[in-house]
Structure 1
């Protein structure tokens, strides 16, 4: 097991005595309870399901191998087909007819805002919040109908693009379905996308109407002069503030509220324009890691296909399930999941990073955060957030007493060992990990992780300590978020799961990277994803579409650029990426993404970008350090500088951090040539607003390389 716990100081005699006592107690407990657990938990069932072959080859030649899932369509998949649901408009209509007055979308009430004095004397505005207010399936469908008709009354005709630029909230989903119902293509843009990217998306899609939130009106005001076609801005109202003036907006731009459009639609006699499966549902702009954002066109058939895939791969319990919605709905992963649970009749409570936890930045002391009120059982996440949870757990354990650290470390090892054998550990979960589980409301049972590969270390720590299952998946916007997905019976860590029931996976030889389907022990190659979930292509980019998409044996495929290997049980592991592969001067290939994934789990690292150069024998790295851990390391090394900005420039600190990172990389089984030999410490975090990471916090390598050109050149120069 790869863990940091054992490195937190040496064991004294007292800890050794405690550890031995815990081992003796565990043996006695196991002997007494094992017969009961064998009967109640049926661990052989979990092990049998884990060992089953999850996918089988269906086609193979000298250059490629294609596999598909052995799993059969489940009940929700079959229900979608039997009900002949082939568009998003039909999906919400069906959900409303079936679930009626059940709770559907929830929004936390903000009662008021108050000043809170901090320990340093500063005063911040904090929320006093109430309960969740719920809209039923009937209300959601009715508002979507009214909003769509209201848009038509304002001149937005079927086929004419409309953009949503807003944070995740109930009105976002209602507006999206309003557009689906009227065959109006929805252009999705991340709220955190830089101004240049937003302007590009607005102008390329020629939108005249923008749906946004009250909080983003100021940002939009700066953008409108560069988007001359936009003539109408519809804003989702704020709970506490109201729009007092439209002064400063471009001349001729009409500013109206979400409620105003609903009222227009309530009086409308316009006949709805229902879509077909091949009509464009979404033009989704992805803040890619290179170049300007590309619009991925997704048709209704793509969306419904992916809902079927989600339903097959994620076991949900309609009566008791509560979903936490907080990731950007402009990301196809979150949009897919939320529409899947809407179809199933499961309620979604919305939140944000500002109000999610009791300790969140906008929550007044003593007021519970959203998860404490909602008590979700299911949530989506991206690796960056799970990495932060993992590091937070590590930090709290590291700061605890020696006795607590010993107990925690023992409990972790004990639980992991039994989980690998198919058992659960209810006593350990309650006594040791119970307080950690309560951080997320106390009822969380399942996390669906996507957006980027999840490291085995993070997967283990979050799964064990939050007492929840994690199903890691793999997909792209171009494949409507679907490709592969783990199931809850997979006892391994670090793999991306088997092909989903609606997709095929093909591996193709990549000679430049020396990856071949004939490799031993597992076939390796570039991953191609095929199926009805694959997009028709990029918006207004025919050449790029022809480059990345192709037809083969009656199926549409997408070239992902990711390198994978297929294990004996049919499960796929992502091992490399074509664009991240650098050949060093001595001939060694370095996967920059792989190195970053491993080093990002180092407690000292908040963010890291590794660079390689074919004219050099080693790599360099830009590192955003974890501030508290950097200060702690400085104190340990006797470096007296209490300001992070100063520490980042101190050569002694650079050497100390590089030593820690190198040691962490070697423990994580990186090769010596893969580990950076020079680093630059950067005090300011990388956020989507800086333009250096995407909305899901993937590195924008080219943007980082351009922005830190001088720092990178200096590191390379020092290698000479």
Structure 2
């Protein structure tokens, strides 16, 4: 079972939600500087010529040779594969259905015109007497627009007074606005209030360690941060090492007069008036301006400012990657980048008038791209209440039609649902297993969709209730999702799962599966308007000319590709090959013309000695973690040894019965069983058989394992990034002695039979 993502139950409350004023004034007038490409010093610039075509040739369907991607004829060159495109847009041009939308500011202004009275953002209301969360309460596009105008006007005053034209911001001629909280209404209001005055957002992951917060705030020279009340103390504690920070705005009320219920909201977040007074005193001592969002809204209402809208070539965000290695890189993207991504994704994802549950962090490019895409179609967004372990309660209150997340979150949900269904004891489990098996067979035979009259009535409709029962689409982004989890969710929830792939460097928009595709194990085809090709990596035996299935590093080209890494020319130079983005992911093209990600470049290790073969560690970790015994796994390959060793966190549900049977100890604790030599060798046998079944090569088998009952997590042992990827370097340090010990014992035993 996964560790809960947040150990304390924390409800948040919009101080904004208790407040709305009627009567709307919105500013029309769109100022576009056509093609004004500002050359920002401090950012390595590479493409003034990203082709924004507005004309297009009719959608002629090309003959596909049984293939999903369209392959551009005669487009390969030495060291690179042919270029691939979306089958419906073979000339690489996508008709622009929204010519008035050139920036994210325009995107919101259009939503205001088209969907003014439609509910846009919602949050569950906290009932302070009953101490529980109730129904969702909605704000219309027009109400949110008012808040954006008022908060934006208040921000303008705060920047004028406290920030000025500090030298740190001169390279961009734009100033940053920091946002630091879990997903909530105020997050979106803050970002768009910044866009209103050409400010760009710098988002801080809710789960970041303090040294990462410090690195980002200093690197991007952030002067103002809008955050949830629980982050104020963290920021004040770091203020001495973050000289650029002048203003902290709490999304939650900081008490003191005003509307009734303000005190409650703060108290509900676990902050007494004494604690709040202490924060104010601390801020004063440090010379930091501390106020709550409602106060800034009131300032703006009293003195509205005139919007200074951005142009398409202006920066809209610097998104710091949750790097698995080294310090985080700041991905610089323009309004044009994100608007292009939204228009492209809108073709792939049916989000029109959908209801969306937002729970994967808005600090990631992926979640924001989906939010912006949905805004083209009047999607209403309900925010989770801050605790992923209770996401199904939010889903039951919201009844969403669309949800999105990364594979790790879907794995967590998969474990939660399977424990109560296919792994349940007795008849319940037996029925669920049969239902899932038969539905998968039907789906894989290509003869039917995800529905099944008999089994849905008996089993699967109950499972669908976990998400509120109205789900029409699950979107998985970031890394490739495990095929077993994908198949299970498709049939158990009777809902298509759309797999998409992309990096922050291209606004998370590179490829997505065609909705009609029932297969799994791939990330689909290039999105409309995106070009994809593969590049040889000869030192790793990946060549694009290898017969039917070219293999190589995936490259992406299109209007969503970023400007560069902020203040890092060297890394920008590595990431861009002309106007192609080098993703660092190794891919191949399968028989159907779908793109399959097989590994990350930095995790491919050459194994010496008897086999001179490349082994992709992440790929192996995915395969081994499919086994029921494995909750988490980290595989290590030493350059001086041919053997692979691994640290396995066993899944207690499967591990305890097996280990107790082997050792014949009915009540031994997991810590004791994990170190038993009998148990270790039994697990090695099981993993070996599993590897054989998955048709792994001999050099991909694990020779020795160390069992650790403590799961990998973000905060405790710090082995995972905020997006749940394994930090390989940290894991190597963390388990150094166990790794050395395993290699020592392998050496003593002699070569494995």
Pick the TM interval, shorter chain: 0.7 to 0.9
Deviation of the 1:412 alpha carbon: 2.3
Q: Which residue of 2 aligns with 1:214?
A: 229
Q: Which residue of 2 aligns with 1:559?
A: 582
Which range is displaced more, 190-199 or 678-687?
678-687
Q: Which residue of 1 aligns with 2:103?
A: 87
Separation in structure 1 between the aligned mates of residue 648 and residue 240 of structure 2, nearest angstrom: 37
CA contact (8 A) 1:234 1:258 kept: yes
Distance 1:100 1:548, change over 3 A: same
CA contact (8 A) 1:289 1:699 kept: yes
- Alignment equivalent of 1:336, drawn from 337, 355, 369: 369
Separation in structure 2 between the aligned mates of residue 437 and residue 269 of structure 1, nearest angstrom: 47
Separation in structure 2 between the aligned mates of residue 683 and residue 404 of structure 1, nearest angstrom: 29
Q: Which residue of 2 aligns with 1:293?
A: 328
Matched, 1:517 2:534: no
- Alignment equivalent of 1:67, drawn from 84, 95, 98: 84
Separation in structure 2 between the aligned mates of residue 52 and residue 710 of structure 1, nearest angstrom: 49
Q: Secondary structure at the match of 1:693?
A: coil
Matched, 1:609 2:634: yes
CA contact (8 A) 2:511 2:524 kept: yes
Which range is displaced more, 458-467 or 636-645?
636-645
Q: Which residue of 2 aligns with 1:18?
A: none
Separation in structure 2 between the aligned mates of residue 652 and residue 642 of structure 1, nearest angstrom: 14
Separation in structure 1 between the aligned mates of residue 145 and residue 64 of structure 2, nearest angstrom: 39
Deviation of the 1:180 alpha carbon: 1.2
- Alignment equivalent of 2:404, drawn from 380, 385, 389: 380
Q: Which residue of 1 aligns with 2:26?
A: none
Distance 1:669 1:210, change over 3 A: same
Deviation of the 1:406 alpha carbon: 4.1
Separation in structure 2 between the aligned mates of residue 428 and residue 371 of structure 1, nearest angstrom: 23
CA contact (8 A) 1:54 1:71 kept: no
CA contact (8 A) 2:576 2:582 kept: yes
Distance 1:204 1:317, change over 3 A: closer
Deviation of the 1:266 alpha carbon: 1.2
Separation in structure 2 between the aligned mates of residue 660 and residue 393 of structure 1, nearest angstrom: 25
Separation in structure 2 between the aligned mates of residue 476 and residue 310 of structure 1, nearest angstrom: 14
Runs of 4+ aligned structure 1 residues displaced above 6 Å come to none
Q: Which residue of 2 aligns with 1:669?
A: 695
How do 1:272-311 and structure 2 match up within 5 A? 272-311=307-346
CA contact (8 A) 1:599 1:661 kept: yes
Deviation of the 1:434 alpha carbon: 1.5
Matched, 1:391 2:437: no
Separation in structure 2 between the aligned mates of residue 454 and residue 149 of structure 1, nearest angstrom: 43
Separation in structure 2 between the aligned mates of residue 609 and residue 113 of structure 1, nearest angstrom: 47
Separation in structure 1 between the aligned mates of residue 500 and residue 564 of structure 2, nearest angstrom: 22
Deviation of the 1:386 alpha carbon: 1.7
How do 1:674-689 and structure 2 match up within 5 A? 674-689=700-715
Q: Which residue of 2 aligns with 1:108?
A: 124
Matched, 1:263 2:263: no
Which range is displaced more, 337-346 or 52-61?
52-61
Separation in structure 1 between the aligned mates of residue 424 and residue 65 of structure 2, nearest angstrom: 36
Q: Which residue of 2 aligns with 1:27?
A: none
Deviation of the 1:106 alpha carbon: 0.4
Q: Which residue of 1 aligns with 2:10?
A: none
Separation in structure 1 between the aligned mates of residue 110 and residue 101 of structure 2, nearest angstrom: 8
Q: Which residue of 2 aligns with 1:700?
A: 727
Q: Secondary structure at the match of 1:610?
A: strand
Unaligned 5+ segments in structure 1 are 1-47, 115-126, 361-367
After superposition, give the CA deviation of every residue in 1:415-471 in whole Å (9 maximum; x if it has no partner).
223223241323322222121111111111211101211121111111111111111
Q: Secondary structure at the match of 1:447?
A: strand
Deviation of the 1:409 alpha carbon: 3.0
Deviation of the 1:352 alpha carbon: 4.4
Deviation of the 1:210 alpha carbon: 1.2
Deviation of the 1:696 alpha carbon: 1.2
Q: Secondary structure at the match of 1:60?
A: coil
Deviation of the 1:98 alpha carbon: 0.8
Deviation of the 1:487 alpha carbon: 1.8
CA contact (8 A) 2:540 2:606 kept: no
How do 1:389-468 and structure 2 match up within 5 A? 389-397=413-421, 399-420=423-444, 421-424=446-449, 425-468=452-495
Separation in structure 2 between the aligned mates of residue 128 and residue 106 of structure 1, nearest angstrom: 17
Separation in structure 1 between the aligned mates of residue 112 and residue 528 of structure 2, nearest angstrom: 26
Q: Which residue of 1 aligns with 2:357?
A: 324
CA contact (8 A) 2:176 2:199 kept: yes
Q: Which residue of 1 aligns with 2:395?
A: 371
Deviation of the 1:668 alpha carbon: 2.5
Q: Which residue of 1 aligns with 2:136?
A: 132
Q: Secondary structure at the match of 2:585?
A: strand
After superposition, give the CA deviation of every residue in 1:38-61 in whole Å (9 maximum; x if it has no partner).
xxxxxxxxxx99966332225112
Separation in structure 1 between the aligned mates of residue 417 and residue 725 of structure 2, nearest angstrom: 23
Separation in structure 1 between the aligned mates of residue 622 and residue 499 of structure 2, nearest angstrom: 15
Matched, 1:473 2:497: no
How do 1:238-253 and structure 2 match up within 5 A? 239=265, 240-241=268-269, 243-246=276-279, 247-249=281-283, 251-253=286-288
Q: Secondary structure at the match of 1:145?
A: helix
Deviation of the 1:477 alpha carbon: 0.6
Matched, 1:345 2:378: yes
Deviation of the 1:476 alpha carbon: 0.3
Distance 1:355 1:492, change over 3 A: closer
Separation in structure 1 between the aligned mates of residue 474 and residue 64 of structure 2, nearest angstrom: 20
Matched, 1:717 2:740: no
Distance 1:642 1:79, change over 3 A: farther
CA contact (8 A) 1:296 1:538 kept: yes
Aligned length: 642
How do 1:156-195 and structure 2 match up within 5 A? 159-195=174-210
CA contact (8 A) 2:103 2:312 kept: yes
Separation in structure 1 between the aligned mates of residue 423 and residue 85 of structure 2, nearest angstrom: 47
CA contact (8 A) 1:561 1:577 kept: yes
Unaligned 5+ segments in structure 2 are 1-62, 165-172, 254-264, 748-753
CA contact (8 A) 2:541 2:614 kept: no
Q: Which residue of 1 aligns with 2:11?
A: none
Q: Which residue of 2 aligns with 1:14?
A: none
Which range is displaced more, 602-611 or 347-356?
347-356
